[in-house]
Amino acid sequence: MVVFQKTRRLFYNGGVQMETMPSETAFRRHRSLYRSGKIRMRCAGLSALLTILPSETIFSGLKFDAKPVSDGIGVVKSCRLCVKPPRSAYFAISLFQELKMSIKDAVKLIEESEARFVDLRFTDTKGKQHHFTVPARIVLEDPEEWFENGQAFDGSSIGGWKGIQASDMQLRPDPATAFVDPFYDDVTVVITCDVIDPADGQGYDRDPRSIARRAEAYLKSSGIGDTAYFGPEPEFFVFDGVEFETDMHKTRYEITSESGAWASGLHMDGQNTGHRPAVKGGYAPVAPIDCGQDLRSAMVNILEELGIEVEVHHSEVGTGSQMEIGTRFATLVKRADQTQDMKYVIQNVAHNFGKTATFMPKPIMGDNGSGMHVHQSIWKDGQNLFAGDGYAGLSDTALYYIGGIIKHAKALNAITNPSTNSYKRLVPHFEAPTKLAYSAKNRSASIRIPSVNSSKARRIEARFPDPTANPYLAFAALLMAGLDGIQNKIHPGDPADKNLYDLPPEEDALVPTVCASLEEALAALKADHEFLLRGGVFSKDWIDSYIAFKEEDVRRIRMAPHPLEFEMYYSL
């Protein structure tokens, strides 16, 4: 499939005329949206049919006249036309708009996009999204009533939630989150939901999004601040394929990646180009070593369409196509919503390219893993409370916030690093912070203060979380730990401005570390969780159920023989 990238655009009388010149870039696979001579145009706030009329074919490219069948929302800024001769085409139209959605706005989006369905999404304890889809006509019959009553579902089918004896739950859609799904064939408006307990009409105490809402409310009620900003940086790998088996007589996995260092001796399609990053050599080389530019750009185009502002994208350190897309910070719940949407887009774009994306912290042995550094700041009355005249431009409030995170870090690990795989990343010498210390610029510390030129940008960066964390739970827990530090004036001590990986033994022993296993982290959470209960943000029931839920992960790993054990012990 050829991607025509050099595009001239002329907008006239509500129509679009494009002359496209072919580049040499090619996709392995892409979903074609060609339907009976028409193309469905997908974008945030817009899904219109375009009739494509081939007027001329020339040697250097293709020329089309495109006439919108229905009006859209916003201003078209850029177009990309992909053509698979002779009959398939794909349009990705980038719109730049910011819409504050009320129920009226959400209904308008459903109507103007001519949506056939509304997709209701929510997140479970593990951080996995689930969805129920209803015909759009049901929403439009009585929008006010529908948004109030939402959709009933069986909570007992969600791991770690209610039992079958009290399983009725309710999804309450948040109209501010509505967008047009960029992947479904039928036009579908997606709305993120809170999970409501019908017994009291309040947010379910195990619903991650409701927990995040309560954390924001607690910040305001504390009087410390009125807004918490979060900016996560989830890294991920994109592989050509993956296979894994877990049976009583066989356990294995195998990753296929043309850009993996191990692929230098393989023949792919009868050849091997030789251009790939070495171990720990993947950070930001240009093509052809970086083979993911167009893939990431496709992801970025859709993220921007959904209103998620992208600041940068690049390849990361790990071999095998490790990547990062940096996005703008937002308030706690909104940024958690966006993180879930971001994962959805990344995994689906990779899938449509014939590849597979994973947010596992450590899928490859012997190279860097994927983290999710979380930038944070607290504001009040439009002022950044973390800006001051202290170390690295921080205020005492910021230092106390850091002190709270360091004090509770081991308990936080159970939430910010919630998988057994998380602790294969948290080892020295792979750019993963294991030492509980803070520093300006020093990336070996678990808390870093980024260098900035403006007091408004002053923030702290927690570097130990990883992208298997549920963003609603992780952001809420980090905020609660930081607020505990502020309320109790927990000073973090002196900063660590030296490489913490190379300390002499006597100094190394004095610096606390993050947990070494999920089992240790769950034990720490069991012993230290009072700070999470304040304001009813987390409940004791949630703490107990979460620990029991995650202990099952520990048990499964503990009981499974590992291939390395055969290497080490089989012949003894």
Determine the average pLDDT of the residues in 313-339. Answer: 95
pLDDT for residue 264 is more than 60: yes
**Is 373 annotated as ligand-binding?**
yes
pLDDT band for 253, please (50, 70, 90 cuts): very high
Question: Would the annotation count 431 as a binding residue?
Answer: yes
Predicted pLDDT at 184: 96
233 assigned to a ligand binding site: yes
Q: Answer yes or no: is 169 within a domain.
A: yes
Q: What is the mean pLDDT of residues 74-81?
A: 38
Q: Annotated catalytic, 552?
A: no
Same domain assignment for residues 508 and 402: yes
C-alpha distances (whole Å) from 57 to each of 52, 81, 184, 198, 351 are: 13, 15, 31, 61, 31
Q: Which of 205, 240, 324, 466 is catalytic?
A: 324
Give the number of other Cβ atoms within 10 Å of residue 549's Cβ: 18
296 in the same domain as 157 = no
* 530 annotated among ligand-binding-site residues: no
Residue written as token pair 């356990």: 251
Residue 368's CATH number: 3.30.590.10
Residues 378 and 445 in one domain: yes
| Domain membership flag for residue 332 | yes
Distance, CA of 58 to CA of 570 (rounded, Å): 67
398 with 479, same domain?
yes
Q: Is 207 a catalytic residue?
A: no
529 has pLDDT over 80: yes
**Are 251 and 400 part of one and the same domain?**
yes
- Which listed residue (214, 373, 448, 458) is catalytic? 373
Would you call 154 a catalytic residue per the annotation? yes
Of the three residues 95, 113, 129, the one that is the final residue of a domain is 95
Q: Is the dihedral of CA 339, 345, 348, 350 positive or negative?
A: negative
Average pLDDT over residues 89-106: 49
Q: How far is CA 445 from CA 393, 436, 463, in A?
A: 17, 7, 8
Domain annotation covers residue 198: yes
Lowest-confidence pick of 66-75, 362-371, 375-384, 398-407:
66-75
Give the HSE-up count for residue 129: Cα atoms under 13 Å, Cβ half-sphere.
21
Is the pLDDT reported for residue 138 higher than 90? yes
Whether 297 is covered by a domain: the verdict is: yes
> Is 463 labelled a binding residue?
yes
What number of CA atoms fall less than 13 Å from residue 7's CA on the CB side? 20
Confidence of residue 101 (pLDDT cuts 50, 70, 90): low
| pLDDT value of position 142 | 95
Across the range 241-260, mean pLDDT stands at: 92
Q: Are residues 112 and 78 both part of a single domain?
A: no
The residue type found at 566 is F
DSSP tag of 126? T
- Specify whether 172 is catalytic: no
Taking the model in full, what pTM does it have? 0.82
Per-residue pLDDT band at 380 (split at 50, 70, 90)? very high
**For residues 484-501, average pLDDT:** 92
Answer positive or negative: Cα dihedral of 461, 463, 464, 469: positive
Examine the domain organization and report whether 435 and 349 are in the same domain: yes
Do residues 495 and 391 touch, judged by C-beta distance below 8 A? Answer: yes
187-218 pLDDT per residue, tens: 999 999 999 999 899 999 999 999 999 999 99
Q: Catalytic site residue 19?
A: no
Query: Is 375 assigned a ligand-binding role in the annotation?
Result: yes
- Per-residue pLDDT tens digits for 103-117: 999 999 999 999 999
Q: Can you give the C-alpha Rg of the chain in angstroms?
A: 25
Q: Is 328 a catalytic residue?
A: no
Across 315-353, b (16+ Cβ under 10 Å) vs e yields: bbbbbbbbbbbebebbbbbbbbbbbbbbbbbbbbbbebb
* Residue 443 labelled as part of a binding site: yes
Peptide bond into 86 cis (omega under 30): yes
DSSP code of residue 455: G
DSSP 8-state secondary structure symbol assigned to residue 175 = G
Closest CA relative to residue 350, chosen from 256, 239, 449, 252: 239
Averaged pLDDT for residues 132-138: 98
Which residue in 205, 305, 461, 484 is the catalytic one?
461
Q: How far is CA 248 from CA 559, 560, 563, 564, in A?
A: 11, 8, 12, 16
Per-residue pLDDT averaged across 140-164, rounded? 88
Last residue of a domain, one of 204, 238, 270: 204
> What is the helix (H) or strand (E) element at residue 475, kind and residue range?
helix 471-487
Catalytic residue selected from 124, 216, 305, 316: 316
Asked whether residue 193 falls in the same domain as residue 322, the answer is no
What is the tens place of the pLDDT at every residue in 390-431? 999 999 999 999 999 999 999 999 999 999 999 999 998 777
Q: Output the average pLDDT for the chain.
A: 83
Q: How far apart are CA 563 and CA 572, in angstroms?
A: 15
**At 524, is the pLDDT very low, low, confident or very high (cuts 50, 70, 90)?**
very high
- Verify that 91 and 23 share a domain, yes or no: yes
Q: What is the mean pLDDT of residues 46-64?
A: 34
Across the strands, what pairs with 58? 61
Q: Which residue's entry shows tokens 């040697």?
A: 59
Question: Is 98 a catalytic site residue?
Answer: no
CATH number of 129's domain: 3.10.20.70
In a domain? residue 211 = no
> Do 197 and 244 belong to one domain?
no
What are φ and ψ of residue 384, in 5° steps?
-80, 110
- Between strands 88-95 and 76-84, the pairing is antiparallel
- Residue 351 in contact with residue 451, Cβ under 8 Å? no
3-class state of residue 469 by DSSP:
coil
Nearest CA among 127, 125, 339 for reference residue 233: 339
Q: 316 an active-site residue?
A: yes
Domain count, the chain: 3
- State what percent of residues in the chain have pLDDT above 70: 81
Say if residue 25 is in the same domain as residue 118. Answer: no
Domain that holds residue 20: 2-95
Q: Do the strands 383-384 and 372-380 form a parallel or antiparallel pair, or are they unpaired?
A: antiparallel
**Does residue 254 sit within a domain?**
yes
3-state secondary structure of 322: strand
The residue among 95, 114, 148 that closes a domain is 95
Q: What is the pLDDT of residue 5?
A: 30
Tell whether residue 507 is among the known ligand binding residues. Answer: no
On whether 67 is known to bind a ligand per the annotation, the reply is no
Taken as a whole, the chain contains a residue count of 572
Q: Are residues 81 and 109 in the same domain?
A: no
Among the residue ranges 178-187, 218-227, 287-296, 376-385, the one predicted with the least confidence is 287-296
Q: How far is CA 520 from CA 151, 227, 409, 554, in A?
A: 39, 32, 12, 10
- Binding residue per annotation — 324? yes
Which of 148, 154, 168, 502 is flagged as catalytic?
Answer: 154
pLDDT above 90 for 7: no
Instruction: Determine, yes or no, domain membership for 215.
Output: no
Check residues 483 and 4 and name the one with the higher pLDDT. 483
Q: Which of 131, 314, 443, 534 is catalytic?
A: 443
The single residue of 174, 181, 207, 235 carrying the catalytic annotation is: 235
Is residue 19 in some structural domain? Answer: yes
Q: Which of 470, 550, 548 is nearest to 123 (CA)?
A: 470
Please indicate whether residue 235 is annotated as part of the active site: yes
Q: What is the pLDDT of residue 85?
A: 31
